[in-house]
Amino acid sequence: MVRHALWASLTIGCVLVLAGIARSCPFCSAVSQTFSEEMGTMDVAVIARLVKVPPPSDKPGDEIQKATFEVAKVLKGDGLVKAGEKFDTLYFGDGTTGKSFLVMGISPPKIMWSTPLPLTERGIKYLGEILALPKEGPERLVFFQNYLEDEDEMLARDAYDEFARAPYAQLKGLKDQIDLEQVVAWIKNPEIPASRRRLYLVMLGVAGNEKSLPMLEEFMKSSDRKSKSGLDALVACYLTLKGETGLPLVEELFLANKKADYADTYAAIMAIRFHGTDGGVIDPKRLVVSLHHMLERPELADLVIPDLAKWEDWAAMDRLVDLYKTADEKNSWVRVPVINYLRACPLPKAKELLKECEKIDPAAVKRANTFFPVSPAAPTPPADKATRNEANDEFSVAAADPVVSTGPSATLASAQAVAAQPAAPGEEAAATGDDDVVVAVNRGAAPAVAAATKPQSSPNLAAILGVSWAIGLVLLAVQWTLLRGTAA
């Protein structure tokens, strides 16, 4: 049992790591596998009709009887099964014979059949058509656009998941074929789930224009949580259409505003990150200026320190060291991210400041070196560039690994983290939360003690991206220990 749990944990970890590598829809989070993905992993997929249900049995210990189905159409596996062939599999439905189902199977010739999934006539047509679609590209998305918010919820969910998995470049390729009027109507509908609203805001950003700006500004300023649902995508869409001139409003509402809700501030930062990596409409130098507002909010400063390092904003060095020196029990977690920022900086001044920081709080430096043993070093700039950086008048935006923040507001300095934005009150789910184990370690607890404070949590392997793989192995070992304890 424990062994199975460990393998499951390792599998999930690999999936999360691979998910972090893919550049999918920036603000969307797929609900489940798509039909295409499921059928792709199966040997056989058929449309089958229920022809016989066994009589119910109330006797304790009786084996569950299987129902009989007849193949109506072979979707995948020609030669392995044929129309008219009958087979038995477990079925827990209402027992109405003649109903159609999607049934998949593996391991021919003695096929192991899955639990049947009921289908409408529209669903049968849908499954037949998706098999003929190209495997990727805007042409594929054009088909699924027609099923977004379909009356058949199963098809609507599958269409959304197809979009959620599509690379952002493919979404942009759909620009001229997006039904803009319909997308705006969905965004205005308060009953649309936040996850789907995020997709429609991304689509509006791709195909929209300045006519939508008043609507977006109204939503951003609203005190109604439903109007602001999917705020990360909402802010990103607004900035895509408004450009650099939209940043002052975002700063006023969410970044410089010390009364702004944490979830709203976090969402705005996610939007800024998106524009720093994939947006392509705002100069990253201007985006970093927006993030500087967070340095005036010490309790949340660790949210943006990774971004400042990633975009090589060495002009912020003195301000960050001040935060390090003045940190108290309310924001002591800022110290490890500051150390990692200094470790990433190639300027000689950073090495001197590191020594000062070690004198002030040697434990923080030790934690940074222990839990982030591989320094996310940025490339050394040319001499003239280094001089300009030291003069605090310019910084480059060359790619560099993020410096991971480990405070209570810890996040990845990567646009891939936008899909995991904590849901605001009223939204349907929070994809991720704070990593209490790392927070406890950052505050000085021993790793074993820190892990014990959260006995039912699994390590957030997605947050390990950009950090030494050794940390991932340590966290997996912690989970293994916890699983053994649970099994005992």
Which residue bears the tokens 């991206």? 465
Question: CA 70 → CA 35, 55, 67, 94, 102, distances in Å?
Answer: 21, 18, 10, 17, 11
Q: For 239-293, how does the pLDDT look when each residue is reduced to its tens digit (9 = 90+)? A: 999 999 999 999 999 999 999 999 999 999 999 999 999 999 999 999 999 999 9
* CA count, 13 A, side-chain hemisphere, 164: 22
Residue 272 tokens, joined: 């800024």
> Containing domain of residue 58, as a range?
35-119
C-beta separation of 403 from 305 below 8 A: yes
Residues in contact with 236: Cβ distance below 8 Å, sequence separation at least 6, in sequence order: 26, 27, 201, 202, 205, 270, 271, 274, 275, 279, 418
Return the pLDDT at 61.
58
Residue 80 is assigned to a structural domain of this protein: yes
Return the pLDDT at 442.
39
Cα 221 to chain centroid, rounded: 25
Return the pLDDT at 453.
37
Residue 364 tokens, joined: 């923080």
Structural domains of the chain, count: 1
Return the pLDDT at 375.
59
The phi and psi torsions of 85 (rounded to 5 degrees) equal -70, 145
C-beta separation of 173 from 137 below 8 A: yes
State which amino acid sits at residue 343: R
Q: For 329-385, how does the pLDDT look when each residue is reduced to its tens digit (9 = 90+)? A: 888 999 999 999 999 999 999 999 999 999 999 999 999 999 888 655 444 333 333
Task: Please state, in angstroms and rounded to a whole number, the distance separating the CA atoms of residues 189 and 191.
Answer: 5
pLDDT mean by block of 10 residues, the chain; 488 residues: 34 36 73 94 97 77 82 95 95 87 95 95 96 91 96 96 94 94 97 96 96 98 95 98 98 97 97 94 95 96 95 96 93 94 96 96 93 60 35 31 45 34 39 37 35 35 37 52 44
Which residue bears the tokens 């943006």? 304
* Rg, the chain, Cα only: 26
State which amino acid sits at residue 185: A
Return the pLDDT at 475.
56
C-beta separation of 349 from 338 below 8 A: no
**DSSP type of residue 27:** T
* CA count, 13 A, side-chain hemisphere, 239: 31
Question: CA 249 → CA 234, 238, 285, 293, 396, distances in Å?
Answer: 13, 10, 17, 13, 25
Residue 229 is assigned to a structural domain of this protein: no
| Cβ density class 462-475: b for 16+ within 10 Å, e for less | bbbbbbeeebbebb
Residue 334 is assigned to a structural domain of this protein: no
Residue 163 is assigned to a structural domain of this protein: no
C-beta separation of 378 from 345 below 8 A: yes
Which residue bears the tokens 């998106």? 274
Q: What phi-psi label fits residue 22: left (phi over 0), alpha (psi between -120 and 50 degrees) or beta?
A: beta
Task: Please state, in angstroms and rounded to a whole number, the distance separating the CA atoms of residues 112 and 107.
Answer: 6
Q: Residue 26 burial by CB count (10 A; 0-12/13-18/19+): exposed, middle or buried?
A: buried
Residue 52 is assigned to a structural domain of this protein: yes
* CA count, 13 A, side-chain hemisphere, 317: 24
C-beta separation of 303 from 338 below 8 A: no
Residue 447 tokens, joined: 């790793």
Is the peptide bond preceding residue 348 cis, with omega within 30 degrees of 0?
no
Q: What is the dihedral of CA 251, 257, 263, 264, to 10 degrees?
A: -40
Residue 42 is assigned to a structural domain of this protein: yes
Nearest to 168 by CA among 21, 278, 242, 275: 278
Residue 253 is assigned to a structural domain of this protein: no
Helix/strand/coil for 45: strand
Nearest to 268 by CA among 231, 241, 319, 321: 231
Residue 394 is assigned to a structural domain of this protein: no
